[in-house]
Amino acid sequence: MSQLPTDLLYTATHERVRDEGEGIITVRITEHAQAELGDLVFVALPEGEGTAEAGAACAVVASVQAASAIYAPVDGEVTGNNEQLSDSPARIHSDPYGEGWIFTMRISDTGALGELLDADGYAEVIDQ
């Protein structure tokens, strides 16, 4: 596995979070999750904007082998979806740090980001 970016936060359920500032985060799936799933053929984005609780399923990614839920990493409001993934789910693999994002959120409590994993903590999760 490649070196995990240290400027991102992670969840034990394989979401990768970028803090965009001002209470906004961008949610993607980790490279580990991408490798486990294989080539993605479908993405079901969150339905519109609305409240999401930490740990609640917000989206689904599917490959030929399996489907996997994408969970809200923190409490907040979904503020945007990457509609480009509907036509091109492979963007998640081809541009994981750019156009491969899944949804954005305005978080309820910025302190909740402190409960997410750093790169070292996530490395321990995937090494188990």
* Residue ranges of E strands in the chain: 9-10, 15-21, 24-29, 40-44, 50-52, 57-63, 67-71, 76-81, 103-107
pLDDT in tens, 92-120: 999 999 999 999 999 999 999 999 999 99
Q: What is the pLDDT of residue 1?
A: 47
pLDDT in tens, 44-76: 999 877 899 999 999 999 999 899 999 999 999
First-to-final CA distance of the chain: 14
Q: What is the pLDDT of residue 102?
A: 97
Burial class (CB in 10 A: 0-12, 13-18, 19+), 112: middle
Token pair recorded at residue 40 = 């993605």
| Distances in whole angstroms, Cα of residue 82 to Cα of each of 29, 37, 57, 92, 126 | 13, 19, 16, 10, 26
Is pLDDT above 60 for 123?
A: yes
- Tell me how far apart the alpha carbons of residues 89 and 60 are, in angstroms, rounded to a whole number: 11
Is pLDDT above 50 for 124?
A: yes
pTM of the model: 0.93
Is pLDDT above 90 for 38?
A: yes
Q: Mean pLDDT over all residues of the chain?
A: 94
- Dihedral class, residue 89 (left if φ above 0, else alpha if ψ from -120 to 50, else beta): alpha
